[in-house]
Copies of this chain bind each other. A is one copy, B any other.
Amino acid sequence: MKVVSTIKEVRDAVREWRKEGLTVGFVPTMGYLHEGHKSLIDKAVEENDRVVVSIFVNPTQFGPNEDLESYPRDLERDSSLCSDSGVNVIFTPQREEMYPEGFCTSINMTGLTENLCGKSRPVHFGGVCTVVTKLFNIVAPDKAYFGQKDAQQLAIIKRMVSDLNLNIEVVGCPIIREEDGLAKSSRNTYLSKEERRAAVILSKSLKLGLEAINSGERNSRNIIELIKGNIESEKLAKIDYVQIVDLLSMKDVETIEKPVLVAIAVYIGKTRLIDNFIFEI
């Protein structure tokens, strides 16, 4: 496995593979890899001849008061995980390699980006779309892998790839959870012991919501109230949003009649965590 930091090195590696007719899978990450990332990498290794993982804490997708500086980093551990998993190239660019002086282009989306996380993080998805397009153009993979935990991001990337005619298959992969149900996230590392215990309220509350839907409840308001009530029973939790949205448009639905995403964002102390499930009707 090679660890490279320049665009040229990635392109050179991929060009050689292409000459041999090999397929290329790509897993874009911000590093501090956990089993969620590992599940994406494993799928990429399984489905492609060669795999590139990018590790880049992209500054343009963080708002001014968000956790860009404190976002956890551990390239050594990440490299071991990648190497053990069969990754061929890790791409870890510096900020200047991705955003050289004079950089002034951005990719934006209306609609899908305005609800859920887009509401509380107004610059976030523009930053994500821009960096992902750049990475897609640098690596030029056949397939790229994203986690369902960032459900809105996945929907946005799929839409963007379609809108911009990028010739890449976007593969969504299921949420990986801790034993008690907490969705794996690099941000879990911010949690104190007490907060970590409290954080299980996200998945527990979603489970209640799913049970209600499975029992026939179709009124979004009732389900949202049920989930909210449960989250509020945890004193360390503060709700950012609990919403039920159409799986394609990310717009709120009143009654569940088509596939929906039930998505929540909750602060546990100062740490903002997200979780969700899809209900396919």
- A residues engaging B (CB < 8 A)? 7, 11, 102-112, 129-130, 133-134, 137-138, 140, 159-160, 163-167, 248-249
Contacts and interface: CB of A to CB of B under 8 A. Distances in A.
Given A102-B111, A105-B107, 15 more contacts: A102-B249, A104-B110, A104-B112, A104-B159, A104-B163, A105-B108, A105-B129, A105-B160, A105-B164, A106-B109, A106-B110, A107-B108, A107-B164, A108-B108, A133-B164
Contacts of A164: 105, 107, 130, 133-134, 137
A167 B135 CA distance: 12
11 contacts: A102-B248, A103-B163, A105-B109, A107-B107, A107-B108, A107-B164, A108-B108, A133-B164, A137-B164, A137-B166, A140-B167
Number of this chain's copies in the assembly equals 2
A253 to B, nearest CB: 16
A177 to B, nearest CB: 32
Contacts of A248: 102
Contact of A104 (B7, B104, B111, B166): B111
A238 B119 CA distance: 45
Contacts of A159: 102, 104-105
Nearest to A103: B163
A260 B129 CA distance: 33
A138 B165 contact: yes
A140 B138 CA distance: 13
B105 A165 contact: no
B167 A105 contact: no
A130 B109 CA distance: 12
Given A102-B159, A104-B159, A7 B111 contact: no
Contacts of A160: 105
A143 to B, nearest CB: 16
Contacts of A104: 109-112, 159, 163
Nearest to A163: B105
Contacts of A103: 163
Contact of A7 (B129, B140, B163, B165): B165
Instruction: Give me the 9 closest cross-chain CB pairs, A-B, nearest first.
Output: A105-B163, A137-B165, A104-B111, A104-B110, A138-B165, A134-B165, A105-B109, A105-B160, A104-B109
